[in-house]
Chains A and B, each alone.
Chain A
């Protein structure tokens, strides 16, 4: 080759390389996604690799943020959004939707959802549950659990009892089983324990509308629940501050006969207790009505996201059929998609059945900026004081009424 030709070719290659690199960089988008898993060893890396292989122009930067009972995760999320360093999308729950909306942090997903091919794989009721009070869709459903009642089948059989279906049956069973160092009910009085309280009090007639916490039915229901400690003595003395770890540990160790939680803990409990544990829907009031918590989890795309379309592609990938099933294999929760639910192999059928049977009475807390305060500070402090007799049960309900309705 002549020297002049070689120089021309070299120069052309250098120019082409310099031009090509910027073009490739412009097509690459990075989506920052915040998530939290109960099991810190679980990793979404396989799902990310699958997504990136199917979407070469999008790179997902996943950041695991400690849950810390919820307060830590949301404190960081809100602070990051206000500081302008928030993620493009993140796992979120309904009890913070109102605050995120006030912050104007959420991007409406209506148009993107309506054009999403797998929209129909999620039940209409779940879409409705996740819709905001302004009628827009900001949350993309990701997984769910429904709070139900675990019970020790062996203890019940030995006492000749059936799993309770009403409040009175529940109390009678708990009383019969409280003996020899075992407590009938492993109540969660610490952080997150409103999902134990809700079935008895909201299911007993209380609601968050004006006057709904101080109606006769509401006060009676709450006195019944607080009475588990102050009168019936069917809960552990440590219950006022027992959290998730304590109630599950006590139930697995046989120190309580019943505990209220959800399918996310079923594998862990069943691994220890085997057939000695089963689950049923939480009990209902004498009028047949009941309430339990629909434990939602969704993904949201934030208004400040540079590429909302790319962020939606990632979050909708996670809510699609087989991917959703794979995601829930990491979290232990239930798939929101019909096709994903059929692929569920990690949960034992009796616990899925209890979850499904609880859906008709499952509800969420109000879509209000007060709800985060209710779950984070007001409910725990008022509940603990009431259980310890520092305030009356009625004073507790008045405090909740004041929080929501002034």
Chain B
């Protein structure tokens, strides 16, 4: 009868190499997450640190009964869908243009990264003044083009505030898609493209049937990552409107931030952020599955 071989020191070596990274991971990710979970289960108000009663899922129940939570969640859905969609479309178009040959292509590729490189606070301040009712260039341009008859208070109307901020985010984030897709376009087979052209496919048909399938993996990864980042973003909204007017530009991460840091209701803010995390886990799961499948295929 054959006995199982005893574990050797060599099989423990990978764990030893991974241990420092795992320790950092536990310290800066796992511990704060566990702490957030703990806070969400307590009525933790920052200026009452000596009275933190355990309330189990009381904060979560409060969220589900909170109309501002549902409004923020709905705004977050709109926020994610439209920002990622338009960032993708604009980024794809830009990548296709930058993939062509023209004499200042190098400069164009460098310039297109600028929105991505600017700090979010600068972007928020810049777009706030662009949207300004009296001094903003957007109103000035639209008035000169006779597209509007009077200035619009873009950031003071509930129907225009969120779309206005979303436009700023689309401008900020499309370079990520442009650069990522451009890199993917370099791997598209020229022979396939030429063959498709010879077979009579027009530009759109070549894009749909040759280019996009070839870069599908790149697109999927970029879309998944961008969805997670956009879902969590709150810095530009915070600078531009602070969530107003009223609750018009409240998204879930912003609401969690305001509850935690403005109202100092850390427990409730933690619960709101965990709800968002749970919703995003579906996206994370899809990303991890995709990555594992790609690794297995390789």
Find chain B residues with CB under 8 A from A240 CB. 153, 156, 244-245
- Contact mask for chain A residues 365-406; partner B; CB cutoff 8 A; 1 contact, 0 none: 000010011001100111011011010000000000000000
Are A75 and B261 within 8 A (Cβ)? yes
Binds A, one of B16-24, B43-51, B111-119, B278-286: B43-51
A384/B133 in contact, CB under 8 A: no
- The distance from the CB of B126 to the nearest CB of chain A, in whole angstroms, is 14
Number of interface residues of A (CB under 8 A): 39
Q: Which of B50, B151, B157, B242 has the most A CB atoms < 10 Å from its CB?
A: B242
| A75-B262, A238-B156, A390-B246 known; A369-B133 Cβ under 8 A | no
Q: Is A82 located at the chain interface by the 8 A CB criterion? A: yes
CB distance from B142 to the nearest CB of A (A): 15
Q: Does A377 lie within 8 Å of B262, measured CB to CB?
A: yes
Let me know if B263 and A241 touch, CB within 8 A. Answer: no
CA distance A253 to B135 in the complex (A): 10
Question: Which residue among A82, A191, A384, A385 has the maximum number of chain B CB atoms within 10 Å of its CB?
Answer: A384
With beta carbons under 8 angstroms apart, the residue of A99, A237, A250, A380 that contacts B244 is A380
Asked if A377 meets B258 with Cβ closer than 8 Å, knowing A238-B155, A241-B244, A388-B158, the reply is yes
Residue pair B262, A376 in contact (C-beta under 8 Å)? yes
A190 within 8 A of B: yes
What is the predominant secondary structure among interface residues of chain A facing chain B? helix
CB contacts under 8 Å to A, within B246-298, are 246-247, 258, 261-264
Q: How many residues on chain B are close to A (CB under 8 Å)?
A: 28
A-contacting residues, B205-261, CB 8 Å = 241-247, 258, 261
Instruction: Assess whether B134 is interfacial by the CB under 8 Å rule.
Output: yes
Q: A104 vs B48: C-alpha distance in the bound complex, in angstroms? A: 9
Chain A residue with Cβ nearest B158: A388
Residues of A near B247 (CB, < 8 A) are 381, 385
Of residues B49, B156, B242, which shows the largest number of chain A Cβ atoms within 10 Å of its Cβ? Answer: B156
Q: Which residues of B lie under 8 Å from residue A384 when comparing CB positions?
A: 244-246
Asked if A42 is an interface residue, CB under 8 A from chain B, the answer is no
User: Within A229-258, which residues are at the interface with B (CB < 8 Å)?
Assistant: 236-242, 246, 249-250, 253, 255
Residues of A within 8 A of B50 (CB): 104
Interface CB pairs A-B, < 8 A, 25: A69-B242, A78-B46, A99-B47, A99-B264, A102-B47, A103-B46, A189-B156, A189-B245, A190-B244, A191-B242, A237-B152, A237-B157, A238-B132, A240-B244, A241-B153, A241-B155, A241-B244, A242-B156, A250-B134, A253-B134, A373-B262, A380-B242, A380-B244, A385-B245, A388-B246
Known: A78-B47, A377-B263. 13 other contacts (CB 8 A): A78-B46, A82-B49, A102-B47, A104-B50, A190-B244, A236-B153, A237-B153, A253-B134, A380-B244, A381-B244, A388-B157, A388-B246, A390-B158
Which residues on B are within 8 Å of A, measured CB to CB?
46-50, 132-135, 151-153, 155-158, 241-247, 258, 261-264
Q: Which 6 A-B pairs have the closest CB atoms?
A: A238-B133, A384-B245, A385-B246, A237-B153, A238-B153, A99-B47
